[in-house]
Structure 1
Amino acid sequence: MPIEDALPFALPFVGKEEEEAAIRVLRSGWLTTGKETLAFEKEFGEFLQDHSASAGSSNSPLFCLAVNSATSGLHLALEACGINSGHMVLVPTLTFTSTAEVIRYLGAEAIFVDVAPGTFHMDPKALERTLKMLPLGIAKAVMPVHYGGLVCDMESISAIAKKYHLKIIEDAAHSFPMGEITGDAAVFSFYATKTMTTGEGGMVVTRNAEMAARMSRMRSHGIDRTVWNRYTDAKASWYYEVTAPGFKYNIPDILSAIGRAQLAKADDMLRMREAIAAFYNEAFAEDPHFTLPPKGGAWHLYPIRINPERLSITRNEFIEKLQEKGIGVSVHFIPLHTMPYYKKRYNLADEMYPHAFESYSREISLPIWAGMSKKQIERVAEVVKETALEYTL
């Protein structure tokens, strides 16, 4: 199939609003972190509050801190929780590498947890089993991942965290918008494929004022004053103090401006994703070759699973056939316990995480992005179903 006919796995939904926002910043004379970022943080917090009110959320204030990536946000959140060498942090094995790598940045150890049977989410039962096997008090935090835009069983995870005195950092990279911030902090991603994007970027959200203050300083070299404050304060623009050896994690205003434009259309983009998921659900509902994903959430992914007993080819071969027919697909995720670094460091094996490996070995992420045409959506479903029929047992 000619490359121009290939359907991509993901595309950003951007238009004149984002273009005008970028131009506005370019013409302003201020490109780094400044008033656009402050406005983005404020509007993001208001958006979350508006969307969590129906869920009976807390009325305590949200502190939102824009950063240059969700990975940076996760690192800042863990650092603000006091995670350091000698500590252990529990994460699901079925996640992207950033969830675990930030633990290693701080010298702590990542402890992997299996997902619940037939799901993509951390299993609370496996979490508690794992905690019982660790030395008392060495585990300091848990990082549940809201896979694909669907929130984990946070009620059970929160109860376990309280029992074992664990901090909770929610990896919400897939889950904007999300109904409620349950943990000590939640981190959203604005990477190019996410439900809203700034190209690169992220947002850390917390209700803890002390954590917010620490993360605010640490995202910009540990300096006690922001660049915007120093350069707009005529009284002492040059003076600042370094309170800790921080990081370079601030986001430039040009990306924040794009984020504000995306935020204004976030509800529309979510409705588009919901419509695509509804079409796929109906198309594959009665097909014995597939298992549908759990319903609900932000639909960042549409992770359908093949039923291997119905097919004469493997999942990997199925993907190759789809790509040959011009359908862009992906896999989420290759479990971290299979990655050479973690496998060797912790002496891990597939049988230690049977449910994560089973879900991974069957999963195919189908195209789902705001702006997909009806023709494109129909084409995806048609090609996937036809391919299954070609190789049915």
Structure 2
Amino acid sequence: MIPYGRQDISQADIDAVVEVLQSDFLTQGPKVPEFERVVAAYCGAKRAVAVNSATSALHLACLALELGAGDRLWTTPVTFVASANCGLYCGASVDFVDIDPRTYNLCPKALEAKLKRAEAQGTLPKVLVAVHLCGQPCDMKAIGRLAKLYGFRVIEDASHAIGGKYNGEPIGNGRYSDITVFSFHPVKIITSAEGGMAVTNDDGIADQMELLRSHGITRDPEKMTHVSDGPWYYQQVALGFNYRMTELQAALGVSQMRRLDEFVARRHELARRYDDLLSALPVVTPWQNPGSYSGLHLYVVCLKTELLSRTHREVFELLREQGIGVNLHYIPVHTQPYYLAMGFQPEDFPQAQSYYRTAISLPMYPGLTKDEQDEVISALAHAMESS
């Protein structure tokens, strides 16, 4: 089976983890701060806070922006459920903005129209989670303009996008947002096995996320409510969580960061080759904004089903039967049973539904060979042949 994604682990990565295993610290040591400094410097951000998953990072980001009961979070329906669930964790309500049919990201025009209606109704969002699907950044300049105009905060869910650029600047620099979140799951662009990180230029936001990732406990006398009882003393000053990243994960992350640019460049090579190989097949290949440089976590094609005698599902299943581990990113969140129970309907966001009915994620990872890529194309052509 050729998977849709796969980590690339080098001997240097293994050596970095072994070094930590042989050290004095398996957790809460020097490697996590090092990983944070490396990522912040790469992105051009002031601060970074490493955690055990991007989901945890999204949760802490929402809490740091003081999202709570009575507030609203908006995001795209075409994303993993965590981009929406983070609002529910905080007691807020969640709504969605339909996608742009060309980029598959949240549509700025749909956002502006929805904001105008919400302003008239007194239902504006407090937080918008802009998801850089497949690694291609959203139109952050347009979103940033609307954020200033309507007074909401912006989280970039860049789980797919580390190593990418927007208007020539690294994703994560915070020019148009308050916080950017990255994922280091094994199928992502770089991995720390599991793990995530939030980057920001706001010291207050970073301090709050650091506090909440470790039970809301502080050993800083300046943050305590009274004079310390002694060198052993700590205080819980907030209700936090155990969202810490381990030293093993951070060591792997630091090592992987050394090859980040190489990984993304290789993904672009593969994407260009896919574009050429797929040009004669009845599929829509991913459109790339010329002003952006995608992280290319995913390579999604949309079937021209009107030209096929087989259904979307039949093509997908035939690919799997031929050993091609395709996937679908993502089932629109608003169609999940948990969200349907809130009152959402499948056709509330028609562009998202249209995407879902035709999209297939083809294998995309640095170790994918030309022969394997040829096998993917051959299998896809066979699956789309007349039945």
Query: Structure 2 length as normaliser, TM-score?
Result: 0.91
Deviation digits for residues 208-250 of structure 1, max 9, x if unmatched? Answer: 1110111111111111249xxxxxxxx9652212121111111
- Aligned residue among 92, 114, 124 for 1:130: 114
Work out whether 1:160 is the aligned partner of 2:156: no
Unmatched segments (≥5 aa) in structure 2: 165-169, 221-228
1:236, 1:48 → 2: CA distance? 39
Q: Quick one: which amino acid aligns to residue 285 of structure 2?
A: L
Contact 1:113/1:123 (CA < 8 Å) preserved in 2?
Answer: yes
- Aligned residue among 283, 286, 292 for 2:285: 292
Work out whether 1:95 is the aligned partner of 2:60: no
| Displacement of 1:158 | 1.1
| Displacement of 1:290 | 0.4
2:225 corresponding residue in structure 1: none
2:88, 2:242 → 1: CA distance? 18
- Aligned residue among 305, 308, 313 for 2:310: 313
Deviation digits for residues 24-83 of structure 1, max 9, x if unmatched? Answer: 11110210122011111111112223xxxxxxxxxxx52011110000001111100010
Work out whether 1:304 is the aligned partner of 2:301: yes
Work out whether 1:12 is the aligned partner of 2:41: no
Q: Quick one: which amino acid aligns to residue 190 of structure 1?
A: F
2:238 corresponding residue in structure 1: 244
The 5 Å alignment of 1:173-322 reads 173-178=159-164, 179-180=170-171, 181=174, 182-225=176-219, 237-287=231-281, 289-295=282-288, 296-322=293-319
2:326 corresponding residue in structure 1: 329
**Root-mean-square deviation (CA), in Å?**
1.6
Secondary structure of residue in 2 paired with 1:389: coil
Work out whether 1:379 is the aligned partner of 2:365: no
| Displacement of 1:17 | 1.2
Contact 2:136/2:295 (CA < 8 Å) preserved in 1?
Answer: yes
2:39 corresponding residue in structure 1: 44
1:232 corresponding residue in structure 2: none
Secondary structure of residue in 1 paired with 2:19: helix
Deviation digits for residues 269-312 of structure 1, max 9, x if unmatched? Answer: 1121111111101111232x100112240110000110001111
2:22, 2:386 → 1: CA distance? 56
2:69 corresponding residue in structure 1: 85
Deviation digits for residues 104-133 of structure 1, max 9, x if unmatched? Answer: 011000111110134311011211222233
190-199 or 109-118, which deviates more: 109-118
2:123, 2:380 → 1: CA distance? 49
| Displacement of 1:317 | 1.1
239-248 or 208-217, which deviates more: 239-248
2:101, 2:361 → 1: CA distance? 19
| Displacement of 1:19 | 1.0
Unmatched segments (≥5 aa) in structure 1: 1-5, 50-60, 227-234
2:199, 2:178 → 1: CA distance? 9
Identical-pair percentage? 35
2:347 corresponding residue in structure 1: 351
| Displacement of 1:338 | 0.7
**In the superposition, relative to structure 1, how do residues 105 and 17 fare at CA in structure 2: closer, same or farther (>3 Å)?**
same
268-277 or 166-175, which deviates more: 268-277
Q: Quick one: which amino acid aligns to residue 7 of structure 2?
A: P
| Displacement of 1:193 | 0.6
1:285, 1:313 → 2: CA distance? 19
2:13, 2:230 → 1: CA distance? 35
Secondary structure of residue in 2 paired with 1:100: helix
Secondary structure of residue in 2 paired with 1:42: helix
1:238, 1:254 → 2: CA distance? 26
Contact 2:102/2:287 (CA < 8 Å) preserved in 1?
Answer: no
Count of residue pairs the alignment pairs up: 365
Contact 2:48/2:200 (CA < 8 Å) preserved in 1?
Answer: yes
